[in-house]
């Protein structure tokens, strides 16, 4: 649960910073949004854009070309029913879903990428977690973080047998998505297939498509806008 007094104080501070000419940021996120506050690893983090207007990208995210495959341009719609979002929507998701405990922001990259820096408020669940060759125990551990549990008995014997005969197993008979949280997944950018892979894996398990969101821009777009990145301790 969040401390209402602390949240109110933060909102007041945000309002004061925006209204005061001496404290106002020159580089806002949107016209009316200077920053967003969230929690990462138990610490409050303020997400804002780099104020140095001469700042440019360096390192890996300044590259324009990567060998394809595997680094191929991803489609705008990763799967039917899954909504693709931009930075403004991601920040709104942080403020109104993650901060309220009803949503999860997922860095679907491998651990080595995650350790180099991530979007504040993200948790790292590597994309292969939901693959067919991943164990049920690994899947269950991850899904539990989203409010998903295994149904008693893992579904009826009859329905499981019918699914086996059809060659099209019904995973919704195994997992209970009644209390499933909304998930927003991202990876390295429009050329990265890790979060799309994870999304398709979740859909195969029966996760409701309307509760899945895809930030296609990923770390490439996030850094190109000078938004806050946190290093993993």
- Band the pLDDT of 20: cuts 50, 70, 90: very low
Q: Does a structural domain hold residue 46?
A: no
Q: Does a structural domain hold residue 174?
A: no
Q: Does a structural domain hold residue 66?
A: yes
Report helix, strand and coil shares of the chain as percent, to nearest 5: 40, 15, 45
80 or 168: whose pLDDT is higher? 80
Mean pLDDT, residues 50-72:
95
Q: Does a structural domain hold residue 90?
A: yes
Q: What is the pLDDT of residues 143-184, one digit of tens each?
A: 999 999 999 755 443 444 444 444 445 555 799 999 999 999
Q: Does a structural domain hold residue 165?
A: no
Q: Are 37 and 6 in contact, with CB atoms under 8 Å apart?
A: no
- Band the pLDDT of 5: cuts 50, 70, 90: low
- Give the span between the Cα atoms of 77 and 94, in whole angstroms: 21
Is pLDDT above 90 for 25? Answer: yes
Is pLDDT above 60 for 17? Answer: no
Is pLDDT above 90 for 80? Answer: yes
Q: Does a structural domain hold residue 176?
A: no
Is pLDDT above 80 for 186? Answer: yes
Supply the pTM of this predicted model.
0.83
* Peptide bond preceding 207 in cis form (omega within 30 of 0): no
Q: Does a structural domain hold residue 122?
A: yes
Tell me the sheet residues that pair with 227.
Answer: 49
- Band the pLDDT of 232: cuts 50, 70, 90: confident
Q: Note the pLDDT of residue 173.
A: 78
- Give the span between the Cα atoms of 122 and 222, in whole angstroms: 13
Sign of the Cα torsion 190, 195, 201, 204 reads: negative
Q: What is the mean pLDDT of the chain?
A: 87
CATH of residue 112: 3.40.250.10
- Give the span between the Cα atoms of 122 and 153, in whole angstroms: 32
Q: For the chain, what is the domain count?
A: 1
**Structural domain of residue 136, as residue ranges?**
55-146+181-224
Mean pLDDT, residues 202-220:
98
Is pLDDT above 70 for 121? Answer: yes
**Phi and psi at residue 18, to the nearest 5°:** -75, -35
Q: Note the pLDDT of residue 12.
A: 43
Q: Does a structural domain hold residue 86?
A: yes
């Amino acid at each position: 649960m969040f401390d209402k007094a602390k949240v109110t104080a933060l909102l007041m501070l945000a309002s004061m910073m925006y209204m005061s000419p001496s404290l106002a940021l020159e580089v806002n996120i949107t016209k009316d949004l200077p920053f967003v506050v969230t929690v990462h690893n138990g610490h409050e983090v303020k997400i804002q854009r780099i104020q140095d207007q001469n700042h440019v990208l360096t390192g890996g995210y300044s590259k324009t070309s990567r060998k394809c495959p595997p680094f191929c341009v991803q489609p705008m719609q990763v799967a039917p029913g899954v909504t693709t979002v931009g930075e403004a929507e991601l920040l709104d998701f942080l403020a109104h879903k993650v901060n309220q405990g009803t949503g999860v922001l997922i860095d679907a990259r491998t651990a080595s990428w995650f350790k180099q820096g991530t979007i504040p408020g993200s948790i790292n669940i590597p994309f292969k977690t939901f693959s067919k060759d991943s164990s049920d125990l690994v899947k269950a551990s991850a899904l539990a973080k989203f409010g998903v549990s295994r149904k008693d008995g893992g579904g009826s014997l009859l329905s499981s047998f019918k699914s086996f005969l059809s060659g099209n197993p019904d995973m919704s008979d195994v997992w209970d998505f009644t209390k499933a949280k909304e998930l927003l997944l991202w990876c390295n950018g429009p050329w990265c297939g890790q979060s799309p892979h994870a999304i398709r894996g979740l859909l195969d398990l029966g996760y409701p498509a309307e509760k899945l969101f895809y930030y296609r821009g990923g770390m490439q777009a996030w850094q190109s806008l000078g938004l806050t990145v946190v290093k993993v301790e």
